[in-house]
Amino acid sequence: MSLTKRFLLGLQSILYIAAGLNHFINPDFYLRMMPPYLPWPTFLHLTAGVLEVVGGALLLFPPLRHWAAWGLVLLLLAVYPANLHVAFNHHLYPEIPLLFHWIRLPLQFLLIAWAWWFTRRK
């Protein structure tokens, strides 16, 4: 693996672990993002946090990297409705600039592509 790809793998791992831990540090932020039509918002946001921490950590273990990356791809797809909910209901989040919400939607697909990059086995 090239030095660049190793760096990007480590960066991705750190970002997911940090984001996952943030679910436990700032739970109200994530609970507010949950679309009202989804059941068990606390369970879902805490599960997402655990999966981010576990997925980010497992990226660092070559035998499990493929599966961890696929798990992160699926997780990113699963949380997309929450991102849509926030973008279309900006009035519920006035402290966050509207542009951030709309930039986040296509950015999610870049994160998916980044995780997918590590799904490929040698």
Q: pLDDT tens, 18-41?
A: 999 999 999 998 888 889 999 999
Global pTM? 0.89
Alpha carbon separation from 81 to 8, 70, 77, 112 (Å, rounded): 26, 19, 8, 14
Closest CA relative to residue 84, chosen from 52, 114, 111, 106? 106
Residues 86-111, mean pLDDT to the nearest whole number: 90
Alpha-carbon gap, residue 97 to 104, rounded angstroms = 11
| Cβ atoms within 10 Å, residue 101 | 18
Domain-by-domain residue ranges, the chain?
A: 3-117
Token representation of residue 69: 């990356």
pLDDT for the residue 122: 66
Torsional class of 34: left (φ above 0), alpha (ψ -120 to 50), beta (otherwise): beta
